[in-house]
Amino acid sequence: MSFGFRSPALALWLVFFAPAALAAQTVPAKLTLEEALAIARERNPTYRQAVNDLNTASADLRAGWGSFLPGVSASLGFGASNFRVVTGEDDFGQPRMLPEPREFQSSSASQSIGASLVLFDGLRTFHTLRSAKAAAAAAEAKRVNQLNALEAETTRRFYQAVAASRLVELEERLLAAAREQLTFTERLFNLAGAQQEDVLGAQIDVANQELAIERARAQRIKSLLALKEQLGITEDISFEVEGELPQPVDPERLDAEALVARALSASPRVVELERSRDAARASAAAQSGQRWPTIRASAGISRSMSLSSYEALFQFNPRNRGFSFGFSLEFPLFTQFRTTAAVTRAEVQARNAEESVRAGRLLVEREVRSALVDLKNAYRAVELAERTAELSRQRVRLATERYRIGQMTFTNLQQIIAQAAQSERQVLQARLDAAIARVTLEEKVGAPLPF
């Protein structure tokens, strides 16, 4: 597995170009772990959502920088009217009917462009930019955290699929051994060296082993379905996993304190919480700036024309021109306590974010130490399972020889063979548990182990 933060250029590639590569990614018939990780990075829905969130963070960051630029607006308008008059007033102000109706026409055209710039706002613009930067960093940390979890879960499911395939192979070998034992028992029965119940017992062993194979095959199908879901594959395709479970390595040389220190400094989860805390702090500082006055500067130019006809309509070059500029100072004297409420909410969010970081660090430390304990136990379980399996193999060989010379009953031989078969299954399960324990520890630390 690969861990760590990517460069901004890679983040941009993930946002804009990865979807095109996604369509080109194919699933091979024999899937390796490296290929599974590559497909998961391109197709897993949860990870794709984290990548898409980078768009929002990038837009907020651009908006933060844009707050230092003047706002510019432009307008363009045309108008016309027609008014028909049939009454009027005489010299004494009395209404009277006009001899003939009169019509009045008018039209106008106007154009304007203006700009405004905030000169001072209690440093809200600066703190908003800081918050946007921290939020963008938090979004990238979230993506890395999701990638860390994605690769760990994909690796776990891949190993589970490998173990399921190896279990099918093991059950097939056990079935072959059971059939061989049945053949030998039938031969002994024909030679009067075995009882009828011995033959029936051997047949039962074969039937039970056939059932075990069917269960193992069903488990393999389900493990492949779980891996397919993790990879985000929606096509109706089939594939097999290609690879082996990793050899267990003695974890005694791992330093728990060093692992915890590494996790607390570089774990993607901790980094995400710290960046979110920084964003909350900057947002609280920005809200506090609302208590300060705001100074704005504005300027604009305009052109217009009005005529008592329709000639000004759609006139794109009006002759009247104007220019204006000004400054404004706004004092927030009383805002119905809205400012206080907003500042309080932001400060509480900042304090809660700080507590989230502390809780996250405590959680990471506990998970790292627990994962290390699980890895040590898993390694010890592999050693014991392999030793038990080897002893069981020797016991089966000795018991088989004794049965063939008539010194052991078939019932006792059945029990020994069943125990040996279970020991072989336990070895496979122990190796799977050890592989998963290592992957989990690497996930909690946020980095691969040094061996």
Report domain extents, the chain: 8-69+122-291+336-445, 72-120+293-331
Residue 10 has pLDDT above 70, yes or no: no
How do residues 145-198 score in pLDDT, each as one tens digit?
Answer: 999 999 999 999 999 999 999 999 999 999 999 999 889 888 888 877 778 888
Residue 11 has pLDDT above 70, yes or no: no
Look at 85-94, 128-137, 271-280, 284-293 and tell me which has the smallest mean pLDDT.
85-94
Mean pLDDT (whole number) for 89-104: 79
Helix axes 196-231, 33-43, angle to 10 degrees: 40
How do residues 23-68 score in pLDDT, each as one tens digit?
Answer: 446 889 899 999 999 999 999 999 999 999 899 889 988 988 988 8
Mean pLDDT score of the chain: 89
Distance of CA 127 to the CA centre of its chain: 28
User: Cα separation of 50 and 6, whole Å?
Assistant: 14
Share of the chain above pLDDT 70, in %: 94
Confidence of residue 220 (pLDDT cuts 50, 70, 90): very high
Residue 445 has pLDDT above 90, yes or no: yes
Between 288 and 380, the more confident residue is 380
How do residues 416-438 score in pLDDT, each as one tens digit?
Answer: 999 999 999 999 999 999 999 99
Share of the chain above pLDDT 90, in %: 60
User: Cα separation of 202 and 209, whole Å?
Assistant: 11
Mean pLDDT (whole number) for 96-111: 86
Q: Which of 141, 443, 440 is nearest to 270 (CA)?
A: 141
Q: DSSP letter at 247?
A: P
What pLDDT score was predicted for residue 88? 73
Residue 120 has pLDDT above 70, yes or no: yes
User: Cα separation of 418 and 204, whole Å?
Assistant: 12
The answer to whether 254 and 372 are in contact (CB under 8 A) is: yes
What pLDDT score was predicted for residue 98? 76
pTM for this predicted structure: 0.80
Supply φ then ψ for residue 90, to 5 degrees.
-85, -170
> Which residue(s) pair with 97 in the sheet?
87
Q: Which of 170, 406, 420, 131 is nearest to 281 (CA)?
A: 131
CATH H superfamily, domain 8-69+122-291+336-445: Outer membrane efflux proteins (OEP) (1.20.1600.10)
What pLDDT score was predicted for residue 355? 96
User: Cα separation of 2 and 144, whole Å?
Assistant: 10
User: Cα separation of 374 and 380, whole Å?
Assistant: 10
How do residues 306-353 score in pLDDT, each as one tens digit?
Answer: 988 888 888 888 889 999 999 999 988 888 888 889 889 999 999 999
The SS3 of residue 98 is strand
What pLDDT score was predicted for residue 27? 86
How do residues 123-155 score in pLDDT, each as one tens digit?
Answer: 888 888 998 999 899 999 999 999 999 999 999
What pLDDT score was predicted for residue 158? 98
